[in-house]
Amino acid sequence: MSNRNQQLFERAQRHIPGGVNSPVRAFRSVGGTPCFFTEGRGARVTDAEGKTYLDYVGSWGPLILGHAHPEVVAAVQSAAARGLSFGAPTELEIEMADLLCELLPSLEMVRLVSSGTEATMSAIRLARGYTGRDVLIKFEGCYHGHSDSLLVRAGSGMLTFGNPSSGGVPADLAQHTLVLDYNDPDQLAMAFAEHGERIAAVIVEPVVGNMNLIAPRPDFLHAMRHLCTKYGAVLIFDEVMTGFRVGPQCAQGAYGITPDLTTLGKVIGGGMPVGAFGGRRDIMEKIAPLGPVYQAGTLSGNPVAVAAGLATLRLVQAPGFYEALALKTQALCDGLCAAAQKHGVAFSARAVGGMFGLYFRAECPESYAEVMACDKEAFNRFFHAMLDAGHYFAPSAFEAGFVSSAHSNADIDETVAAAERIFDGW
């Protein structure tokens, strides 16, 4: 059936708002009909029309080993056969916590949750409870999940408090959040000079993957660490996307900065719902039942989900895993840039570990404003041409892309060759 995706999309819209359970899946940004997937294996996914694509979304980051890795699937099957959930502690959760603390030196204690949103929401409550302060600093273009305090955009003046960026978020709540420019250490220093004694936490994506991909200027992260220490604010690295994706010690290892708290998700669940937040022991001991900050979850540390995460985290420890992944991701970016240049297309690309950004702009952007200035129409044309050719990229010009260990060099070459044919007729 050649229009099966369209039929499913129409049917989905009857009882699911917009036909999707998370908005970007609806293809609103690029137009057209979303693919309904039926199967994924390694680097490839198959849609309801039987068409196969090389996948550069990887479920938005979790699938660092590709789809349906046999060892991950076996771990899930074996855990499921022993019981889906207990709502009581299990040894698997200890293994997961021990492994996370061993792999990430900034973690002295960690708590498991079921999504990245829960991890960031809980880390912020904890930072507020620990400091006894309310003000939160975040950066325009960073996404930290969909909890109320975080759906805030910049106020009208540079250092004025924010406004809700979503319906249903009380303006009062946005009044506790300052939204600043990413990669601007001077502005951050001004915010601390003015409000320092009231700032509970700074939350940041150490490499941003939610406004396409933006790499941090090293002085930006260093200034942030310095200012948080000076003013007694909690530095939260939101590594839900970058965690075990950009390298074996996440972005904090790659850039040599130790945050006070870290949030994780995506890769640590290997495709199943797992999130985590952890960090300094003196902060983590403020959480219930040890301390006064409440946080809980019926399915937190779910054995089936944790089994998938543990299997994934063990497999990425293979010697050379991250080096090989980074080389392939870089090869994709280099190949696409060369193809564009050959045909005079204004295009740039950047890889950080196993994630990448594609920009219809001559130079890689370094700020939210520069990302917004990319040619969105050109991206949409590229997206649809690549989709037709069997290469699935994120359906938005403002999302990062992902390569998995299941992508072969031949897969990367195939994608670059398809892009070159498209740029040839540009």
Ligand X SMILES: *Cc1c(COP(=O)(O)O)cnc(C)c1O
- CB of 181 or CB of 411, closer to ligand X: 181
Look at the block and give the residue holding tokens 């979303």. 34
- CB of 34 or CB of 209, closer to ligand X: 209
Host H or E run for residue 13: helix 4-15
The three-state secondary structure class of 256 is: coil
Q: Are 93 and 306 in contact (CB under 8 A)?
A: yes
Question: Which residue type occupies 322?
Answer: Y
Distance, CA of 19 to CA of 35 (rounded, Å): 12
Minimum Å gap between C-beta 229 and ligand X is 23
- Where helices occur in 166-256 by DSSP H, the ranges are 171-174, 185-195, 218-231, 250-255
Minimum Å gap between C-beta 123 and ligand X is 10
Binding site residues, ligand X, CB under 6 A: 115-117, 120, 143-145, 205, 209-210, 238, 240-241, 265, 275
CA 98 to chain centre: 23
List the beta bridge partners of residue 277: 111, 263
Minimum Å gap between C-beta 273 and ligand X is 7
- CB of 4 or CB of 153, closer to ligand X: 153
Minimum Å gap between C-beta 339 and ligand X is 28
Distance, CA of 125 to CA of 251 (rounded, Å): 23
Minimum Å gap between C-beta 274 and ligand X is 9
- CB of 143 or CB of 321, closer to ligand X: 143
Minimum Å gap between C-beta 364 and ligand X is 19
Minimum Å gap between C-beta 46 and ligand X is 24
Distance, CA of 276 to CA of 22 (rounded, Å): 21
Angle at 349 between CA 348 and CA 351, to 5 degrees: 160
List the beta bridge partners of residue 39: 46
User: Which tokens hold the place of 157?
Assistant: 């003046």
Q: Are 131 and 233 in contact (CB under 8 A)?
A: yes
Give me the residue whose beta carbon is nearest to ligand X: 116
The three-state secondary structure class of 364 is: coil
User: Which tokens hold the place of 152?
Assistant: 């805030």
- CB of 117 or CB of 405, closer to ligand X: 117
- CB of 121 or CB of 154, closer to ligand X: 121
Helix 303-315 and helix 91-103, axial crossing angle in degrees, nearest 10: 30
Distance, CA of 25 to CA of 34 (rounded, Å): 7
Distance, CA of 6 to CA of 142 (rounded, Å): 32
Q: Catalytic residue numbers?
A: 143, 238, 266
- CB of 119 or CB of 419, closer to ligand X: 119
Q: Which residues contact 1 (CB under 8 A, 6 or more apart)?
A: 7, 48, 49
- CB of 257 or CB of 339, closer to ligand X: 257
Provide the 8-state DSSP code for 390: T
Minimum Å gap between C-beta 323 and ligand X is 24
Nearest to 12 by CA among 39, 35, 44, 46: 35
3-state secondary structure labels for all residues of 50-66: CCEEEECCHHHCCCCCC
